Structure 1
């Protein structure tokens, strides 16, 4: 009882202090009102913001303040995010029993006043607009001033008083509470746990904030770009049922993408990006965005219009999915959706039992066309579940291995009309977890999904037995695998998992993986509707849990498809190796009759290592379309240096266990940035079927690393700087790690820890080289996973 009384009194004291501070601020600077910030922005102020202020915010603030996992939901990616301010509410909460209200920037509120009503507090002064008030009443200024007062770091590893864990208690204080915060956390100024701003950077931000933190409105689109927007919006908003259903299908798959129109158009040196949105208003009128949790939720209007909205946010790599909309792509879309002679007879509507299942909603669009559409950009299709709403995705990605390759079934070979219709009929019965809304309270619903999946796999196995292999219509050999039509580099992908996030890149990157997937249309579609369109980051714990459990089915199905290419006598042995020490329930599922196919592969093997031989046969088949952008041969390193890195890539186990998930290394030549390489720690597991105790399945003696040219991974865990002349020694030192102390010594020699005085130089150099290397795909990296050791 006394503990609760003490807590109650503390809360009263805190609220009392905040009320007193509010009263003091009001007395000195007037009452808070967003309207106080409304004023004209002169050309001089606009130029100052765009040329001097915005680059500092992008390079020093956005790395920690972007996406849903931005501390206190404070986003510096756009002026609207800064005006919105911060919130005490968490987006990522794996314990909530009820779904929370979404707070998506640009979607769930249309004005600063609306954000204030949702509990967001300002970080810029909203009282009297004077230099003194603008500084004292600005959380942003007080935060950088607190960091300046703290001075330089005096030790390489910061003390435990700094909390860098993702689940840390966030101190999301308002300006009225900041004086107490400064006393309680004198070392928590911004940038938090990183070197302070330079004197020039601090001066620029201070001058900007003293004048009111003015940010200009976005300029009108160039006329040529307006014409492109009008053209594409006319294409996406036809009046016939077929056109409306096709546009709905396109929207539900591309709504997270950054779309680029026609030739490259620039605004102040930056490419203008668009998002495809649902609007209540037709083309030619201002967009009135339809705000729903999911892209297929009922829109609340009789007619939905698909519009191109200019995205004002700075490009952040972790959620950037770029796609060029040009005439070549439009011609392909026309061939996918309009070549076949079919009729759309009805609007499927938005009832949950239909809208959550794409095989029901889009039944009248031929499956062949839908599959072709997804294959055309399959890397992005898969990438969306990594780069979509899941900025902190352990629930989603602990269901996949650390590194594996992905291939696709050839749409021309397997999707003749009979087999396509058969699989479609079966998939009609495959409801997805989103049918239970965002408040799934009972994980027992997983049993229903499990039974449905068993029925589907049994039917699929029967179809394969009938149509594939000796005596069937389709040979069971490499002709099953899509070759990208000889020109599409989406035919082979590599997926890397980095604990709670992942990367999807083109090509067969790294050494032979433990597992691989072969994906067909129903599997690809379900991955999207499970983890992208149907996943609600604001959903309750049950929704997130059932989503994770369902993904187990999809992983196993992709693996099963791959195993069919191996001799049938190998399949069970390989499966057992993949699922060592799995619990009996998982084993019963994996080795049950309904996912067994008693058809022998028609691939001729000449070695004893059939899986490795299969990988090389696939590499040979796809040679013409394999992407080599991450190959070390593409780098500026010498042959000797590359040999040392390949030697390191052959190391297994030992001290590799102490490496972080992702290390981003700047290679310099006499201090001048030369190249970036990435080291990916591939953690081995006996199996990945455990939901809650992943560590128990770890096999550190089987760990390995992948080394690539350029930036791979959107969330580096450590930055390093290595002189080109020392690169071979660096590789030897990494490969010789044995203890935690050895890794610490490696960082002493090459690490650019959070406290390193060269941190921002290395950070900027990596960003610049990343942009030069991949101008379209690159963006600002996220530093919320940087370690402190």
Structure 2
């Protein structure tokens, strides 16, 4: 009789007609109890998971459920994430008054039972482990069935039943709540707002779930990788205090990196982590909110842990370590003549201030270390947890270039002495830890920033007296080979991208970073930022970044004619709030003339030309917009009226005669009168100044639109009609012709093509794109 009842339940669920509450599941299948699901990759179940199940999860599920911003914190990119399940708590919450408890995989709980104690609920069946129960009691399986039972209308714009906003409410239904979810939201099945998986894919997932959802980690590292790790861990964990301090500095800048040792098609990536155990023993992670928080152990060891999660484009920061890099670190940190007599404190007020913590390390060593991997360091605040959402990003312009001051000119003993004298003024908001009062904190840091800027200006007026060195000679030239010397940052409203090279049309502004500025950006937005912090911590971080942006822009302005600097700055900050104008007015101005002889009334254009000439040997041409062929290149000259209709990032796939594809990215640059208004971005938008850039390859991690052009005729039609758009109806008509809407019946086939082509373009930088910002138009 019981078997007949179970079969009936499964039949009902598979038909998508009805659902049962948790009490019924408890009565039929028993109480929930965590299961041991991890099996070796050499077993049949482990091999099946890696070969048949994981590819489906990666390409159909992880594209929305991959990291901090995954709906319901459901991270399907690793066995630990799948087993952990769902949470109704928000990671990104701009309203919380007190910091919340972190929920980082591998760090904040060591097994599934601990996650249950933190109110995470399962998506796999944790009741009786029978085939019927494993299907009937799985939220994941029921979500798939719900989608199969309620398919989307083909290739249409979805109605208001669907909410794709980042701030949308989340149900995060448990198995006991699933019946109500299905009744109230029949189209809430997974993948949400996208076509269902294919029958073959569904069968793989069904069979896997039916058999208990056994999972395996990726294959263990190769012997080659293990040998490399042994050498690197020996270097980073020597007993000398000089080595220990150097290792701490290196770790605090590389802790987000995906490290690899095999440049050709690496099979494994690794994270540099802090462990309480030395090399040769099992890693025991030190769990702290920030990389410099008190480890509460007598000795920290720096270890390499294999990255277990699927590589996602939005969090992928690849870093190659080899013998040359090891020698470089030795030359930067160990060979210089300085002495470490004791290790610095881990107390928040001092540990959050790198100028205090690492005061003894020569400034040139620290600065050159950061410059060597400048894109990686800046990528940290773009691909780290801080940069999710418009409030976190409205502190930067949509498109600007970044260059760096030459270490030989600005990382001098005089500058180092000035930093030591004013290290208290360089204190960062992370000194408040994860709870802060925004107004009082902002006033305090504003006063300190002014004090530091006064000291900096006084020294700069002396160092560059009469315009000496105030030419493009001031710029770091990448040691003649390092393409990190010139970068471009794109903001895409609520996400951002950094790439090597001066990409696109000449931007409104540019930053020139020196050591102190570069270091503070890292400790503000990467090492010191807590995504679980309260609203005060997040707001003060955002407000402090205003100071750093202004400082980087001021460094650039110093190369322009003295008489033009304020005029250009006023153009950048039209309609700026009174407090910003007062901040400008009260600061002592840099008063030395530029050393460049300008010949036209457009000195900023001249300077951009000179910068490109100076850095030509190290300028990356990977995303050179001038290399986009006609007729697509016409998109670079679209009117603002047409550009206004474009989403932030559009990927274009062009099919070639040999069935291969070329890929392009159309980037929409939102123009602003100024970017100093925290809560009134729309009021500062200069819509009639918006521009677009199309580049070869793929820039960005969150495509909003995907276009597929089958042949030259479609390319010509698309390139001709896109600039002619005037109203939303024009855009939707083009989308019907050339776009791959989220409701396209073959959406997943085109998604696979997109990822395949992107892998060809990006190589080691490739990761799965995120579809949480895919438009519904």
User: For this structure pair, what is the TM-score category when the shorter chain's length is used for normalisation?
Assistant: over 0.9
Who is 1:629 aligned against?
A: 622
In the TM superposition, residue 613 of structure 1 has moved relative to its aligned partner by 0.9
Change (3 A) 1:29 1:709: same
SS for the counterpart of 1:503 is strand
Please give the alpha-carbon distance, in whole angstroms, between the structure 2 residues aligned to 1:741 and 1:361: 58
Q: Deviations over 1:738-764 (max 9, x none)?
A: 112211122121111110112112211
Who is 1:11 aligned against?
A: none
Please give the alpha-carbon distance, in whole angstroms, between the structure 1 residues aligned to 2:638 and 2:598: 28
Who is 1:191 aligned against?
A: 191
Who is 2:536 aligned against?
A: 542
Unaligned runs of 5+ in 2: 1-18
Please give the alpha-carbon distance, in whole angstroms, between the structure 2 residues aligned to 1:544 and 1:195: 36
In the TM superposition, residue 20 of structure 1 has moved relative to its aligned partner by 8.7
Who is 1:399 aligned against?
A: 395
Q: Contact conserved, 2:511 with 2:552, CA < 8 A, in 1?
A: yes
- Match 2:548 to one of 554, 566, 575: 554
Matched, 1:419 2:415: yes
Q: Deviations over 1:526-574 (max 9, x none)?
A: 0000001110000000000000000000000000000000000010000
Who is 2:156 aligned against?
A: 156
Please give the alpha-carbon distance, in whole angstroms, between the structure 2 residues aligned to 1:744 and 1:212: 45
Matched, 1:125 2:118: no
- Match 1:684 to one of 671, 683, 697: 671
- What aligned pairs does 1:213-228 form with structure 2 within 5 A after superposition? 213-228=213-228
Change (3 A) 1:591 1:722: farther
Q: Contact conserved, 2:438 with 2:536, CA < 8 A, in 1?
A: yes
Q: Contact conserved, 2:656 with 2:662, CA < 8 A, in 1?
A: no
Please give the alpha-carbon distance, in whole angstroms, between the structure 1 residues aligned to 2:517 and 2:631: 40
SS for the counterpart of 1:66 is coil
In the TM superposition, residue 213 of structure 1 has moved relative to its aligned partner by 1.3
In the TM superposition, residue 729 of structure 1 has moved relative to its aligned partner by 2.3
SS for the counterpart of 1:350 is coil
- What aligned pairs does 1:660-679 form with structure 2 within 5 A after superposition? 660-669=647-656, 672-679=659-666
Please give the alpha-carbon distance, in whole angstroms, between the structure 2 residues aligned to 1:320 and 1:43: 30
Who is 1:489 aligned against?
A: 483
Who is 1:15 aligned against?
A: none
SS for the counterpart of 1:672 is coil
Change (3 A) 1:513 1:591: farther
- What aligned pairs does 1:453-602 form with structure 2 within 5 A after superposition? 453-470=449-466, 474-594=468-588, 596-602=589-595
In the TM superposition, residue 685 of structure 1 has moved relative to its aligned partner by 0.4
Q: Contact conserved, 1:395 with 1:544, CA < 8 A, in 2?
A: no
Who is 1:768 aligned against?
A: 756
- What aligned pairs does 1:96-495 form with structure 2 within 5 A after superposition? 96-154=96-154, 156-262=156-262, 264=264, 266=266, 271-390=267-386, 392-470=388-466, 474-495=468-489
Q: Contact conserved, 2:652 with 2:663, CA < 8 A, in 1?
A: yes
Q: Contact conserved, 1:225 with 1:265, CA < 8 A, in 2?
A: no
In the TM superposition, residue 234 of structure 1 has moved relative to its aligned partner by 0.8
In the TM superposition, residue 264 of structure 1 has moved relative to its aligned partner by 4.8
Please give the alpha-carbon distance, in whole angstroms, between the structure 2 residues aligned to 1:53 and 1:716: 25
Q: Contact conserved, 1:280 with 1:303, CA < 8 A, in 2?
A: yes
Please give the alpha-carbon distance, in whole angstroms, between the structure 2 residues aligned to 1:505 and 1:305: 32
Who is 2:54 aligned against?
A: 54
Change (3 A) 1:262 1:711: closer
Please give the alpha-carbon distance, in whole angstroms, between the structure 2 residues aligned to 1:329 and 1:335: 10
In the TM superposition, residue 419 of structure 1 has moved relative to its aligned partner by 2.5
**TM-score with structure 1 length normalisation?**
0.94
In the TM superposition, residue 392 of structure 1 has moved relative to its aligned partner by 1.5
Please give the alpha-carbon distance, in whole angstroms, between the structure 2 residues aligned to 1:561 and 1:702: 25
SS for the counterpart of 1:34 is coil
- What aligned pairs does 1:685-764 form with structure 2 within 5 A after superposition? 685-725=672-712, 726-764=714-752
Please give the alpha-carbon distance, in whole angstroms, between the structure 2 residues aligned to 1:264 and 1:284: 27
Which deviates more, 690-699 or 201-210?
A: 201-210
Q: Contact conserved, 2:154 with 2:745, CA < 8 A, in 1?
A: no
- The count of residues paired between Structure 1 and Structure 2 equals 759
Please give the alpha-carbon distance, in whole angstroms, between the structure 2 residues aligned to 1:166 and 1:419: 44
Please give the alpha-carbon distance, in whole angstroms, between the structure 1 residues aligned to 2:731 and 2:84: 42
In the TM superposition, residue 616 of structure 1 has moved relative to its aligned partner by 0.8
SS for the counterpart of 1:785 is coil
Which deviates more, 458-467 or 584-593?
A: 584-593
SS for the counterpart of 2:644 is helix
Q: Contact conserved, 1:516 with 1:562, CA < 8 A, in 2?
A: yes
Please give the alpha-carbon distance, in whole angstroms, between the structure 2 residues aligned to 1:516 and 1:356: 27
Please give the alpha-carbon distance, in whole angstroms, between the structure 1 residues aligned to 2:574 and 2:711: 42
Q: Contact conserved, 2:742 with 2:776, CA < 8 A, in 1?
A: yes
Matched, 1:778 2:771: no
CA RMSD, Structure 1 to Structure 2 (Å)? 1.8
Change (3 A) 1:521 1:724: farther
SS for the counterpart of 1:599 is coil
In the TM superposition, residue 671 of structure 1 has moved relative to its aligned partner by 9.7
Q: Contact conserved, 1:566 with 1:611, CA < 8 A, in 2?
A: yes
**TM-score with structure 2 length normalisation?**
0.95
Please give the alpha-carbon distance, in whole angstroms, between the structure 1 residues aligned to 2:42 and 2:25: 28
Please give the alpha-carbon distance, in whole angstroms, between the structure 1 residues aligned to 2:25 and 2:368: 61
In the TM superposition, residue 283 of structure 1 has moved relative to its aligned partner by 0.8
In the TM superposition, residue 141 of structure 1 has moved relative to its aligned partner by 0.8
Please give the alpha-carbon distance, in whole angstroms, between the structure 2 residues aligned to 1:607 and 1:39: 70
Change (3 A) 1:333 1:418: same
Q: Contact conserved, 1:747 with 1:753, CA < 8 A, in 2?
A: yes
SS for the counterpart of 2:320 is strand
